Chain A
Amino acid sequence: MDDFQSGEEVALWVSALQSVEGAIGGNAYQHSRVNQWTTNVVEQCLSQLTKLGKPFKYIVTCVIMQKNGAGLQTASSCFWDNTTDGSCTVRWENKSMYCIVSVFGLAI
Chain B
Amino acid sequence: MCDRLANTASLEKIRRKKQTMADKSDLKAELERKKQRLAEIREEKKRKEEERKKRDVRSQSETRKKSEAVPEDSDLDHKRRETEALLQSIGISPEPPLVPTHVSPPSKPGSVPSEVGRQDSTDGAVPGRTLHWDTDPSVLQLQSDPELGSRTQRLGPSKITQVDFQPRELVTYSKETQTPLAVLQSEDEDEDEEILEPAPQLVPEPREEEGKQEAKEAPPRELTEEEKQQMLHSDEFLIFFDCTIRVMERALAEDSDIFFDYSGRDLDDKEGDIQAGSNLSFNRLFYDEHWSRHRVVTCLDWSPQYPELMVASYNNNEGAPHDPDGVALVWNMKFKKTTPDYIFHCQSSVVSVGFARFHPNLVVGGTYSGQIVLWDNRSHRRTPAQRTPLSASAHTHPVYCVNVVGTQNANNLITVSTDGKMCSWSLDMLSQPQESMELVYNRSKPVAVTCMAFPASDVNNFVVGSEEGAVYTASRHGSKAGIGEMFEGHQGPVTGISCHNAVGPIDFSHLFVTSSFDWTVKLWNTKHNKPLYSFEDNADYVYDVMWSPVHPALFAAVDGMGRLDLWNLNSDTEVPAASVTMEGCPALNRVRWAPTGREVAVGDSEGRVWIYDVGELGFRRGAPAQWRDSQQSTSESGCSRSCLARWLCLMLRTGPASSARWRRSGPIGATLRRKQLRNWQDKGGHPHPTPPLHARQAGTRWPPHVSNPPVC
Contacts and interface: CB of A to CB of B under 8 A. Distances in A.
Interface of A: 1, 52-55, 63, 65, 68-85, 87, 89, 91, 98, 100, 102, 107-108
Interface of B: 100-103, 126, 128-130, 142-143, 146, 153-168
Nearest to A76: B161
B161 A102 contact: yes
Nearest to B166: A71
Contacts of A73: 162-165
B102 to A, nearest CB: 8
B154 A83 contact: yes
Contacts of A76: 160-162
B161 A75 contact: yes
A50 to B, nearest CB: 11
B386 to A, nearest CB: 29
A71 B167 contact: yes
B167 A82 contact: no
A87 B161 contact: yes
Contacts of B154: 81-83
Given A77-B157, A83-B154, A69 B168 contact: yes
B161 A85 contact: no
B146 A77 contact: no
A107 B154 CA distance: 13
A91 B167 CA distance: 16
7 contacts: A53-B102, A53-B103, A73-B163, A74-B164, A75-B162, A77-B158, A107-B142
Contacts of B168: 68-70
A81 B163 contact: no
Contact of A53 (B101, B153, B160): B101
A77 B167 contact: no
A76 B157 CA distance: 11
Closest 10 CB pairs of A and B: A71-B167, A69-B168, A72-B165, A78-B158, A77-B160, A74-B163, A75-B162, A81-B153, A89-B161, A79-B157
Nearest to A53: B103
A24 to B, nearest CB: 17
A55 B143 contact: yes
A53 B158 contact: no
Nearest to A73: B164
Given A53-B100, A53-B129, A65 B161 contact: no
Contacts of A107: 142
Contacts of A82: 154, 156, 158
B130 to A, nearest CB: 8
A54 B158 CA distance: 21
Contact of B158 (A63, A68, A72, A87): A87
Contacts of B163: 63, 72-75, 89, 91, 100
Contact of B165 (A71, A79, A80): A71
Nearest to B126: A55
A86 B203 CA distance: 99
A97 B327 CA distance: 29
Given A72-B163, A100-B163, A80 B143 contact: no
Most chain-A CB neighbours within 10 Å: which of B143, B163, B166? B163
A85 B142 CA distance: 14
Given A69-B167, A83-B154, A52 B162 contact: no
A74 B103 contact: no
Contacts of B167: 69-71
A12 B161 CA distance: 15
Given A53-B103, A53-B129, A78 B157 contact: yes
Nearest to B128: A53
A20 to B, nearest CB: 14
Contacts of A78: 157-158
A54 B165 CA distance: 33
Contacts of B129: 53, 55
A54 B100 CA distance: 8
Nearest to A108: B146
B250 to A, nearest CB: 61
A34 to B, nearest CB: 17
Nearest to B156: A82
A65 B168 CA distance: 14
Contacts of B146: 108
Nearest to B164: A73
Given A69-B167, A70-B167, A79 B155 contact: yes
A81 B150 CA distance: 13
A79 B103 contact: no
Nearest to A81: B153
Contacts of A84: 153
A65 B153 CA distance: 38
Given A53-B100, A53-B101, A82-B156, A1 B165 contact: no
Contacts of A100: 163
Contacts of A65: 165
Contacts of A53: 100-103, 128-130
A95 to B, nearest CB: 14
B125 to A, nearest CB: 11
Nearest to A72: B165
A70 B167 CA distance: 4
A75 B160 contact: yes
A98 B158 CA distance: 25
Nearest to A63: B163
A89 B159 CA distance: 12
Contacts of B142: 107
Contacts of B165: 65, 70-73, 98
Contacts of B153: 81, 84
B172 to A, nearest CB: 14
B126 to A, nearest CB: 8
A86 B629 CA distance: 99
Nearest to A52: B100
A89 B129 CA distance: 27
Contacts of B159: 77
Given A71-B166, A108-B146, 4 more contacts: A53-B129, A69-B168, A72-B163, A107-B142
B155 A80 contact: yes
A52 B133 CA distance: 13
Contact of A80 (B126, B128, B158, B166): B158
Contacts of A52: 100-101
Nearest to A77: B160
Nearest to A85: B158
Contacts of B128: 53
Given A53-B101, A69-B168, A71-B166, A1 B161 contact: yes
B373 to A, nearest CB: 26
Contacts of A91: 163
Nearest to A78: B158
A85 to B, nearest CB: 7
A80 B151 CA distance: 13
Contacts of A87: 158, 161
A53 B156 CA distance: 26
